[in-house]
Structure 1
Amino acid sequence: MMKKKIEEWPHHDYATRLSVAVVYAFLAAIAVNFFYQPGHIYSSGATGFAQILTTLSHRVVGFTVPVSITLFLINVPLFFLAWFKIGHKFTIFTFITVFLTSFFIHIIPETTLTKDPIICAIFGGAIMGVGIGFALKNGLSSGGLDILSITIRKRTGRSVGSISIIFNVMIMLMAGILFSWQYMFYSALAIFMSGKLTDALYTKQRKMQVMIVTKCPDRVIEGIQDQMRRGITIINEAEGAYKHDKQTVLFTVVTRFELPMLEAIMRETDPQAFVSISENVRILGRFYEETMD
């Protein structure tokens, strides 16, 4: 029964990843062509750098290099970093995602829905953040600074959205210096919205401490360790204050992404157990994270 339930847990195959890549590419193109470009808002990550290079290209070489081309060229060296530091399949699908994003940005016409830069910043940032978070949640990267953010997160434990915001300060300053300081603040609003939406959707990085009070510790431990690669701390001979019965307390840490799997395990092994969950805990030391490859 346990194996049957866990086998039903969704594992994204290649077709699903390709579908996610198409969805992200479309959302990114909508954000850029419907909100960022018409509102003169600069996006987060490589897309923002691509927009800046596109704007500068007209001043420097006399003609405008499309955002779609500058975006793809910026990502080329980062593909090598992803190949060696993250994973081969991850890099291949990132390449596909970046190519599709550049393609959609190129073919979808730039459309002015509103000239209000605040509306463009809010809605453009929200759409871009949803796209990035959705891509990362399904094992894909939107390329650019996402690759650097994931690499740094593995070493520091910081959230992807927070790391991206730090990197994107450079984009805001460049936008202010080169074009206008008011657009620096509009771009900051867009980047903030994008980072928050990314964190809201990319739940693999959010860690949760779980305390389990159970009378069937062996079954619970076996279920967790068979299906989840998580360490468990055991406190034996715990006593209930009401009935003074002996129970066992188990402590472990999981990600929010794994929480439905833990709930399925608990329903199967000990549905009467008391489970307490504390969100957004900070971890010092080793914590296993699944590869995105």
Structure 2
Amino acid sequence: MSVSESIHWESIFSFKSILYIILGATCATVAIKGFMIPNHFIDGGVTGISILIHEIFHIDVSIPLLLINVPFIIIGYFKIGKTFAVHAFIAVILLAILLQFIEIPAITNDKVLIAIFGGLFIGLGIGFVIKGGGVIDGLEVIAEYSNKKFALSAGEIIMVINTIIFLIAAYSLGIEKAMYSILTYFTALQVSEYVVDGFEEYTSLTVISSKHEEMKSMIVNDYNKAISVYKGERGYLPGSFDIKHDTDIVVTVVTRLEIHKLKNAIFQMDPKAFLFIQRIKEVGGGEIKRLRNH
């Protein structure tokens, strides 16, 4: 993204963006002040580092949270976009203010409940802020930036950093607290993905079958799904490499709730059909939404 990109103030101050950021910062505050800090649990990323600093040096968690995030936001300003950086800065400032001035008593002392609901609320916070256009954890920014410098993916970089965080937590807070904190982190990760991507997760299903005409008719007419068709060849099997047949490769997009039923129908029609399934992060346009409402 170009550094010369102008800041989209209408997007920043839109009702939807402000609402998501307020909700996100509030949920994160509940997680940190109501679950994690009173029970000495941490999370991954900048939040985890900030809580660790708080635990070791007894500094208010809002201070390291703000100071550590600022360099990442600056990197995001140049590497991702100015509008994103402003969104992120507003979200981090709001979270720091809430952490500084809002007192929340410990909601529970049960370690399993802390891990589950602490992760739930921090995941909601992260997800809502991302939907509002920003972040409250700069680790994602540095991961994307480092991905271009080193032979590691963003996910691998995040995993390495979080592993170091949890190892330090195990040494400083004890192995048991670190293990529960890992559970908190993975709960937050899953919840944030649901918030950002939606519970209606889409899956791409590709079918190669000798009965491709029947497959196309069944998927469209019986299951009310749109399809795309690629012209291809099937065959090329070990021992019969020279035998090949023209075929239509049928691709459709379904939700995870629909996938099992459609798979069964495909194999019932053609037990020798070949299919593979791919998870889709996002879909837009086409007939997906409209057809599902029929």
Structure-2-length-normalised TM-score: 0.64
Kept after mapping to 2: 8 A contact 1:214/1:248:
no
Counting only pairs closer than 5 Å after superposition, residues 91-102 of structure 1 correspond to structure 2 as 91-102=85-96
Matched residue SS, 1:257: coil
- Aligned: 1:28 with 2:23: no
Counterparts of 1:91 and 1:156, CA distance in 2: 26
Q: Which residue of 2 aligns with 1:209?
A: 204
Task: Return the offset for 1:78.
Answer: 0.5
Q: Which residue of 2 aligns with 1:116?
A: 110
Residues 1:88 and 1:68: Cα distance change in structure 2 (over 3 Å): same
Q: Which residue of 2 aligns with 1:145?
A: 139
Q: Tell me, which stretches of 5 or more residues in structure 1 are unaligned?
A: 1-10, 59-64, 216-223, 225-231, 237-246, 272-293
Q: Which residue of 2 aligns with 1:227?
A: none
Q: Tell me, which stretches of 5 or more residues in structure 2 are unaligned?
A: 1-10, 208-214, 218-225, 233-246, 253-277
Task: Return the offset for 1:49.
Answer: 0.6
Residues 1:267 and 1:249: Cα distance change in structure 2 (over 3 Å): farther
Task: Return the offset for 1:209.
Answer: 2.8
Residues 1:180 and 1:69: Cα distance change in structure 2 (over 3 Å): same
Counterparts of 1:31 and 1:167, CA distance in 2: 21
Residues 1:267 and 1:46: Cα distance change in structure 2 (over 3 Å): closer
Kept after mapping to 2: 8 A contact 1:68/1:103:
yes
Task: Return the offset for 1:198.
Answer: 2.1
Counting only pairs closer than 5 Å after superposition, residues 5-44 of structure 1 correspond to structure 2 as 14-44=14-44
Cα shift readout 1:198-245 (whole Å, capped 9, x = no counterpart): 2333329x7743659879xxxxxxxx9xxxxxxx87429xxxxxxxxx
Counterparts of 2:188 and 2:248, CA distance in 1: 43
Q: Which residue of 1 aligns with 2:235?
A: none
Cα shift readout 1:85-110 (whole Å, capped 9, x = no counterpart): 21110111000000011111112104
Q: Which residue of 2 aligns with 1:3?
A: none
Residues 1:165 and 1:26: Cα distance change in structure 2 (over 3 Å): farther
Counterparts of 2:158 and 2:178, CA distance in 1: 16
Cα shift readout 1:107-130 (whole Å, capped 9, x = no counterpart): 210411222233212210111112
Structure-1-length-normalised TM-score: 0.64
Q: Which residue of 1 aligns with 2:231?
A: 235
Task: Return the offset for 1:181.
Answer: 2.0
Counterparts of 1:178 and 1:151, CA distance in 2: 30
Kept after mapping to 1: 8 A contact 2:44/2:185:
yes
Q: Which residue of 2 aligns with 1:258?
A: 283
Residues 1:98 and 1:129: Cα distance change in structure 2 (over 3 Å): same
Kept after mapping to 2: 8 A contact 1:83/1:91:
yes
* Equivalent of residue 164 in structure 2, options 132, 157, 170: 170
Q: Which residue of 1 aligns with 2:177?
A: 183
* Equivalent of residue 132 in structure 1, options 126, 129, 139: 126
Kept after mapping to 2: 8 A contact 1:165/1:192:
no
Counterparts of 1:89 and 1:77, CA distance in 2: 16
Counterparts of 1:178 and 1:192, CA distance in 2: 21
Counterparts of 1:184 and 1:254, CA distance in 2: 31
Matched residue SS, 2:204: strand
Q: Aligned residues: percent identity?
A: 25
Residues 1:267 and 1:144: Cα distance change in structure 2 (over 3 Å): closer
Counterparts of 1:92 and 1:171, CA distance in 2: 27
